[in-house]
Amino acid sequence: MNFCEAKSELKQLLSRVDPSELPKLLDWMKNSDDLDDFLLDNRTVILQNISDDLRTRLPLNAMLASETTAHLKIQQCSRPTLHVDSFLYDEDQVDSLCEDGTMSRTFCLNCGSQKTAALDFVSHSFSISELRFLFQNVLPDLSGRTLVDVGSRLGAVLYGGYVYSSASRLLGLEISEEFVQLQNEMLQKYQLTDRVQVIHADVCTQEVLLQNTDVLVMNNVFEYFMEPSEQIRAWRFIIQSFRKSGSLLVSTPSLQESLGALQQEALLPGWVEELPVDYNVYLGRDSDPENLRQIHLYRVM
């Protein structure tokens, strides 16, 4: 049954409801979590299991001690900021951690006072609902195509691509040996190695790979991990190498924001064109519409 057929049947069903009961039913449909169960399938369960597994292997902030630049940049943010990995912790899990005192959403404005303000949260991974949105709503059918995730980190894009797409190859580029090892452990444990591979390398050494990539994913990939001069070098390399006409680029945040922060907007003209994305999709109550709108799709010209 497609969307139009389902909508027609739902309208017919609602027309048969006692008028006095209809407001209660509509309120239940709007506010109950019960309907979210219909969005849960085996693919999502696999991702949840991987997420559960990874949480036991990482500290609460899901950052390594060796990520000194990232730790420093988070400390230097204009507002107090916490790294909360969206693949590992959904909103309900964050709420639970806050309730038991393990985490807080606020910080004290003046020591000893009751004045508080909201902490900013930053994530370097897509959430499970964002992965579903990416592969089912943003990208086209990936059959026969190669997808490369730059800075694959925990491997969320690779796992999501495996369960939600038909991409023939899913490759992660990761410069941290510890994260490469962690991803490989997950790939082996959940038997995903037939289509997924993690490469321990700097993206700036992978010219041939980028030249043959069909879909390139870049999620918050450089800002917290490189100094501005290194970011510019990496962007220039990618723009020079990722040139196959018709290839797709997924960027979070937008290229304009990423390159604008480096005053490198002049690199964009003639490289890619932005494609429209329909953000009007319900993915469950744990999805954040604002986060979805940070996902942008481009096509190499």
In CATH terms, is domain 128-300 a member of 3.40.50.150? yes
pLDDT at 18 over 70: yes
Domain parsing of the chain, residue ranges: 43-122, 128-300
The pLDDT mean for the chain works out to 88
CA–CA separation, 106 and 124 (whole Å):
21
Burial of 199 per CB tally in 10 Å (0-12, 13-18, 19+): middle
Report the distance separating Cα 282 and Cα 289, nearest Å.
9
Digit-coded pLDDT (tens) for 66-81: 888 776 778 778 777 7
Say if residues 154 and 41 touch (Cβ distance below 8 Å).
Answer: no
Name the residue with tokens 């027609």: 8
Q: What is the pLDDT of residues 212-242, one digit of tens each?
A: 999 999 998 888 788 889 999 999 999 999 9
Q: What is the pLDDT of residue 107?
A: 67
pLDDT of residue 108: 63
Global pTM reads 0.85
